[in-house]
Structure 1
Amino acid sequence: MPKPDLTVGSPCWIDLLTSNPEKSKEFYNALFGWTYETGDQQKYGGYVTASKDEAMVAGIMKNDGTSGSPDTWTTYLRVDDIDAAAKAAAEHGGQVYLPPMEVPEQGKMAMFGDASGAAIGIWEFGGHTGYQLAAENGAPAWHELFTRDFAPAVKFYQDVFGWETAVVGDTDEFRYTTLGESDNAKAGIMDASSFLPEGAPASWHVYFAVDNADAVIEKTLALGGALIQPAEDTPFGRNAALTDPTGAEFWITQDIGQGS
């Protein structure tokens, strides 16, 4: 399979913060066929790398509760100068939740809050150059921000990460902008003001490609996960929202006409 096109500014990595890494590993192994490698405890805190067909697709790390964050999936955007990105984020209405830090031999990471309050991970390449498989069964396929503050959020990603955006929809019913255009789009920003529950913060969502959405939903439920949004056919695939057994939300997307 061709290596994903992880250009500067685009999503390049995902990882799962989980209160029960062993349970999460078992779940995603059964659901997607992932295999795992655990990093050095002293150097990397036991960070787990997940692979699909021997290609790295995600990370898993322990949620020890100290951050106050629920179990969650995080999308990371690639930058070529993480310190400059942190400065730009602060200057354009964002916050630096976790300042740039070096991950020995791998690269540099940070965590920002965007102008709408959504958390987004940041990664500067070193030895680790992002996921090696995308838009294939069991691998990340799409990244999407749900926000009530649509215009400020779009401007933040344009100003801080140099996004060249395309408007997909601009009505009250469907307001949506993408990084890149049509088949070359790499992420999306959705005006979620009409459907986000009261008090729910802006947030990024990870979609995984699947061959058969309905079968994956059935298997998720059998493995102790839950269905948040039933499968729905859209112009962009058959999509559904689920949670894994510890409550971390993820989405799935199936090409229409694939599977049965």
Structure 2
Amino acid sequence: MPSPFVWFDNVGGNRAATTDFMTNAFGWAPKDIGPMTFLTAEGESMPFAATTDAMEGVTGWVPYLEVDDLPAAVENAREHGAEIIAENLKGPAGDASFIRDPGGAPLALWKRAAGM
């Protein structure tokens, strides 16, 4: 895997305003899919990030790290001092668990859905 960072969510209290900002300031194309709005860079066919509604305990940009075994990755993070924010959330392309590292930054551990 060239980079473990595979996705970015911008989590906040006003998804519409954030999406408008990203669209106008950076030229990213939005596509609302219900629980989130995908963002695609100019000239690209696939989104790289999304704006999402508020999530308790999380705000701002959240990078996603792809892992091979989600439960094992969550347990490993916990053993090394991570706070577990939410576990085993189902998404359009796989499952994710949100953690906070010992320095306070949020991070999502993500397992790609079979066939993706």
What is the CA distance between 1:68 and its match in structure 2? 4.7
Match of 1:205 in 2: none
Q: Secondary structure at the match of 1:55?
A: coil
Mapped contact 1:86–1:100 kept (Cα < 8 A): no
What is the CA distance between 1:128 and its match in structure 2? 9.3
**What is the identity, as a one-letter code, of the residue corresponding to 1:56?**
P
What is the CA distance between 1:102 and its match in structure 2? 2.5
Which consecutive unaligned segments of at least 5 residues does structure 2 have? none
Whichever of the two has the greater Rg, that structure is 1
Superposed, 1:110-259 pairs within 5 Å as 110-126=97-113
Match of 1:60 in 2: 51
Which consecutive unaligned segments of at least 5 residues does structure 1 have? 130-260
Q: Which of the numbers 45, 67, 76 marks the counterpart of 2:64?
A: 76
Match of 2:82 in 1: 94
Q: Which of the numbers 30, 37, 49 marks the counterpart of 2:38?
A: 49
Match of 1:107 in 2: 94
Mapped contact 1:107–1:123 kept (Cα < 8 A): yes
What is the CA distance between 1:77 and its match in structure 2? 1.0
**In the aligned structure 1, how far is the partner of 2:13 from the partner of 2:40?**
20
C-alpha spacing 1:68/1:107, structure 2 compared with 1 (3 Å): closer
What is the CA distance between 1:117 and its match in structure 2? 3.2
**TM-score under structure 2 length normalisation:** 0.82
**TM-score under structure 1 length normalisation:** 0.40
In the alignment, is residue 19 of structure 1 matched against residue 6 of structure 2? Answer: no
C-alpha spacing 1:72/1:90, structure 2 compared with 1 (3 Å): same
Q: Percent identity?
A: 24
**In the aligned structure 2, how far is the partner of 1:51 from the partner of 1:128?**
22
C-alpha spacing 1:67/1:29, structure 2 compared with 1 (3 Å): same
What is the CA distance between 1:61 and its match in structure 2? 0.6
Q: Name the structure, 1 or 2, with higher relative contact order (CA <8 Å, separation 6+).
A: 2
C-alpha spacing 1:127/1:33, structure 2 compared with 1 (3 Å): farther
**In the aligned structure 1, how far is the partner of 2:103 from the partner of 2:40?**
32
Mapped contact 2:83–2:101 kept (Cα < 8 A): yes
State the Cα deviation string for residues 48-87 of structure 1 (Å, max 9, x = none). 1111123312111112xx6154x41111111111111111
Match of 1:5 in 2: 2
C-alpha spacing 1:62/1:96, structure 2 compared with 1 (3 Å): same
**In the aligned structure 1, how far is the partner of 2:2 from the partner of 2:113?**
17
What is the CA distance between 1:100 and its match in structure 2? 2.1
In the alignment, is residue 29 of structure 1 matched against residue 23 of structure 2? Answer: yes
**In the aligned structure 2, how far is the partner of 1:30 from the partner of 1:128?**
34
Q: Which runs of 4+ in 1 moved over 3 A?
A: none
**What is the identity, as a one-letter code, of the residue corresponding to 1:88?**
N
Match of 1:237 in 2: none
**In the aligned structure 2, how far is the partner of 1:94 from the partner of 1:107?**
21
